[in-house]
Amino acid sequence: MSLTMHRHKVLSVSLGAESRIDAGHLTIDAGTLRAQLMADDRLGNVSIEMARPGDSTRIVCVKDVVQPRIKKTGSIQGMGVLGILEDVAVVTCGPIVGFQEGIIDMSGRGADYTPFSRMPLFVLRIEAAHGLGPHEHEAAVRAAGLNAAEFVAAVCIDAEPDTVEEIALEESPVDPRLPRVAYVYMVLSQGLLHDTYVFGRDAKDGLPVLANPGQVYDNGIVSGNCVSACDKTTTFHHQNNPIIAELLRGHGNRWNFAGIVITNAAVRLGEKERSAEAAVTLVTEMQASGAIVSKEGFGNPDADLMMLLQRLEKSGIVTVAITDEFAGNDGGSQSLADTVAEANAIVSTGNANERIVLPALAKTIGPLPDVSRLAGGYPHTLREDGSLEVELQAIIGATNELGFSHLSCREV
């Protein structure tokens, strides 16, 4: 049993009278899509615009980014044929849901810090119906993004894919001399708009759980959170998790990919301890000799990360963690809220407190004055000349803790 991924390369995009893909040229019927979205009475208004790489366009108060994917055949998660449109995404934005949303610049200095500046985007500017509370607002925007992504992806149902990839659901035969490496995949589950949905359920319940790559790739994890934009794991990040991809590439030649443990970042100390113990038990049962741990967010989740690192190392499992840092504007402050002696191998994805000035751009999609209210913004963020002074914290994906970035550091 396996998940077959049909990948369709997108070369150009446009809005038109019908939805189709022809030789990589994608056209979407915005009128029909808008009508479908407006059937949700939780939405007061939806406008659909295009943003392309190199455009002098800024998208603000971004809630989520979703890759268009649709099940061509099969109904069970992680099985059947999945159609995927490559190098294109759906973005949701609009009046703030929770203050920890972010910015995508399609050109200028800010474009260097977000991977989404390198692909054309269908941008949904969404306004909630009057009187809708923040949790209902988040749910409505989340549903709109997923519905729009599926609508866009429907063009590839009958199209011939450019490439086909098979993802095995179970561990394939491997060289027993190679080390067994597990992946501990921590997602936010703190409530108060810091939520993630795993296999259709709120991550506060039912985790940790074992998973295989096919289940994750098949829209198995959906972002529902408003954590700081820099290290928000958007739905697109989950759909294209680079750690899983690298572990699959090295399987059978550099290591044996033992499997995935999806775990959560709880709120109360006792829940954190129980979750960490259960996750480590699952990794131990895999007979793993090594593990990679990723997390989402900062502050409170740092404690979950350290509990996992300490318990894994004490169980004899060599462990590497991936995290960003909040080390102050000058990089001189304590980077993480918690640490343990066993945390001796950590990969940093950058300092989210670093300040940056983003140039004025010709077009803005979303409520520009609200940028001063975003995490990483200041009362003086929006300057008279239209430029923005923000921390990297305000840019979607700037320090993503899956390592999903085209930037890297070098020793000097």
Cite the active site residues. 226
Q: What is the DSSP string of 292-347?
A: EEE--SSSHHHHHHHHHHHHHHHTT-EEEEEEEE---TTS-S-SSS---TT---EE
Q: What is the DSSP string of 189-223?
A: --BTTB-EEETTEETTSS-SEEE-HHHHHTTTEEE
The 10 Å Cβ neighbour count of residue 231 is 29
Burial of 249: CB neighbours in 10 Å, binned 0-12, 13-18, 19+: exposed
Q: 120 has which bridge partners?
A: none
CA distance 181 to 380: 47
Contact (CB, 8 A) for 260 and 244 = yes
**CB-based contacts of 296, cutoff 8 Å, min separation 6:** 186, 187, 188, 196, 225, 227, 231, 232, 233, 265, 401
Backbone angles phi, psi at 133, to 5 degrees: -75, 165
The DSSP call for residue 377 is -
Q: How far apart are the first and last CA of the chain?
A: 48
The 10 Å Cβ neighbour count of residue 410 is 4
Q: Which residue has the tokens 């350290």?
A: 306
**Alpha carbon 238 to its chain's center:** 5
CA distance 183 to 186: 9
- Per DSSP, the three-state class of 54 is coil
CA distance 397 to 95: 20
Helix (H) / strand (E) element for 272: namely helix 269-285
